Structure 1
């Protein structure tokens, strides 16, 4: 389950991939209409919304004369046209960047695409290319939770074909009672590295909320308890195995190996075995107000994750793995967390108070998330499917992204 778990509220996650939002600052994306440039994506005029479809439609019309994409149509069947477009070394993402009127931004964004969960899978290169083209205007960094359903190869292939400037934290979703899950994903990660090289690989994250799930199953909350110290070696063995795999590949650069977990569920043994840690820190599940959420997130992360990690000999770099605010709930009972509503207004408040503050302090964070996810709403209800900056159809919600300046 993809949950947005307050550290004291255990929940489960499945495989998926996310874009890490590091710095927010505006970037102008425009649509040509009547001979004039109009409509922004991120800092647009009040009342206007721009969809990824409109952006894609505009740039494919004006950048690729041979495209048959007509006004009012949906996404081009880009994969079918790759011989005509991408095959000629035309970079969709680069063209967007070159024609933008504002300097590039550095965003680390989050997305959980449909079709990346076993056993059904169902994602496609076309869909991944579509999102990479859009998100390349917002981020240079992407993170995957797992490697099933061909996630790793699809993302790296999409980056290759679009030629965007992006790096990826690959992921291996480890299950406490199924070593084959780790081994299966390890092998496809190795194949992907051999196929695509290391230029676009920023790290490999082994395990996501492993300790949270392990302790929840055993009805324990203390990540450094005796029970936790029994589970930690399972994860550490996989981390070591990943390091050993990389060592045998004679790669041109060192690839860091890390782990992700709920903010208050990091085990010291695990922290001592990794290069980086990624902590989920959600103010919504701490029952804070939207106005107080930013302060809570930053204080919790520093005291619970950054400071303990800094005292270890290996000094693992810590990231906020998930933070954000939902915009609605599918049922009235979950529409308020006891402090504020799940709403567009509350999301805007969180963006206004968190983004520039975190950027100014140099706090690396995964913004949760890019798009709403219908499958999560259908499966879990409540606020689970409604954390996106964009609707599921890739329409920006009625929000304005704070302008913190391009970095």
Structure 2
């Protein structure tokens, strides 16, 4: 709980507990001890923890950890995973309502329904809008004053989708644009403000970057180009460079974002491709909560998010 290398400079952190994928968790359950240790580390980085789903008791374990660690200022963004399977979607939503009925609104900062469902084409924009409207109605019926959001790629947001949520949450990864680490912070800001923030002009809606980060190893991304000379190089030095240009400046201008992510997710190795082995390497730390060798989290002269 007192790691001098960790600084609470991130407005939010994206987090998925180890072994929290259904149905794998039926046989290999996530550990409360592991989640509590994770949350102890996360609390030194941020006051807001974003979850992606409700399966495998992950939300309950995070809330229990926050309670046992007496982290009175840490909030959870309640995540609901949506996909092409109605049974999965209904299960996730039912679990969300049970959590809200049991705990009320107080432990939560908001509700995020779905992540990149439009990008994956799991649901149409109309189908997603119907789910969002239904959730909004249920929150109102329960007298729960929680902001409603969905997150998708910055390119997938439209004026219509923005009208159906309280917060526009865009996943924006400069690494996949093929820009260098030196250019990444400026590119991210320009993309976000011109593609997504403009959708809420003249309204009281908020804007968050729901994912932004840099992989520590795994190859080079050229974005949409088939080849490139420089590109986005996955590495510790490049991760540090992006943080140096992004983190403290974001504190200064009040940018709301979730850093992706605190810990590596080894289960994602299945999505790696030859020469693109970065899917499981986005963490500031490894899966055992060890800060990766050479990673330097900015201290922003003692300022905190």
Q: TM-score, normalised by structure 2?
A: 0.87
1:392 aligns with 2:262: no
> What is the distance in 1 between the residues matched to 2:152 and 2:92?
18
1:110 aligns with 2:18: no
Deviations 1:299-345 (A, max 9, x none): 0000001012225x5x431111111111111xxxx345442421111
Deviations 1:101-128 (A, max 9, x none): xxx7564222332211111122122221
Instruction: Report the secondary structure of 1:401's partner residue.
Output: coil
In the TM superposition, residue 399 of structure 1 has moved relative to its aligned partner by 2.1
Unaligned runs of 5+ in 2: 223-227
> What is the distance in 2 between the residues matched to 1:207 and 1:276?
13
Q: Which residue of 1 aligns with 2:2?
A: 29
Q: TM-score, normalised by structure 1?
A: 0.66
Question: In structure 2, which of residues 116, 119, 133 is the aligned counterpart of residue 209 of structure 1?
Answer: 116
Unaligned runs of 5+ in 1: 1-27, 31-39, 44-103, 218-229
Question: In structure 1, which of residues 221, 244, 249 is the aligned counterpart of residue 137 of structure 2?
Answer: 244
| Contact 2:214/2:234 (<8 A) preserved | yes
1:189 aligns with 2:99: no
Q: Which residue of 2 aligns with 1:323?
A: 212
> What is the distance in 1 between the residues matched to 2:52 and 2:205?
19
Q: Which residue of 2 aligns with 1:365?
A: 257
| Contact 2:13/2:262 (<8 A) preserved | yes
> What is the distance in 1 between the residues matched to 2:261 and 2:153?
16
> What is the distance in 2 between the residues matched to 1:250 and 1:293?
41
Instruction: Report the secondary structure of 1:255's partner residue.
Output: coil
Instruction: Report the secondary structure of 2:299's partner residue.
Output: coil
> What is the distance in 1 between the residues matched to 2:159 and 2:125?
9
Deviations 1:155-186 (A, max 9, x none): 222222222121111111222x4333222112
1:42 aligns with 2:15: no
Q: Which residue of 2 aligns with 1:231?
A: 124
Deviations 1:266-285 (A, max 9, x none): 13222111001211111111
1:309 aligns with 2:282: no
Number of corresponding residues: 288
Q: Which residue of 1 aligns with 2:79?
A: 171
Deviations 1:203-240 (A, max 9, x none): 111121121122xx7xxxxxxxxxxxx92221111111
> What is the distance in 1 between the residues matched to 2:232 and 2:113?
35
Instruction: Report the secondary structure of 1:182's partner residue.
Output: helix
Give the greater-gyration-radius structure (CA).
1
> What is the distance in 2 between the residues matched to 1:365 and 1:308?
17
1:255 aligns with 2:162: no
| Alignment RMSD | 2.1
> What is the distance in 2 between the residues matched to 1:372 and 1:317?
29
Instruction: Report the secondary structure of 2:93's partner residue.
Output: helix
In the TM superposition, residue 353 of structure 1 has moved relative to its aligned partner by 0.9
Question: In structure 2, which of residues 165, 170, 177 is the aligned counterpart of residue 274 of structure 1?
Answer: 165
